[in-house]
């Protein structure tokens, strides 16, 4: 059996993970900042509710 050049499944999985993890780092930081300030989220929701009324 001939060995085919390339990468294995485990290496490919790690490369995909690293790519996605890097790509999502900015949205993850934004999410964490929002989750750290629930009062801000509530204020935005109340303002939207007031405008909807």
Could you state, in chain order, the average pLDDT of each consecutive group of 10 residues for the chain (53 residues)? 74 95 97 96 96 93
Which uninterrupted H or E stretch holds 42? helix 38-52
Rounded to two decimals, the pTM is 0.59
pLDDT of residue 28: 97
pLDDT of residue 6: 83
> Residue 42 and residue 49: Cα distance in Å, rounded?
10
> Residue 9 and residue 37: Cα distance in Å, rounded?
40
pLDDT of residue 7: 85
pLDDT of residue 48: 95
Tokens of 52: 């909807």
pLDDT of residue 2: 58
């Amino acid at each position: 059996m001939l060995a085919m050049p390339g990468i294995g499944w485990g290496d490919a999985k790690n490369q995909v993970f690293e790519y996605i993890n890097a790509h999502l780092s900015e949205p993850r930081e934004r999410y964490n900042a929002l989750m750290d300030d629930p009062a801000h989220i509530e204020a935005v929701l109340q303002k939207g509710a007031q405008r909807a009324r």
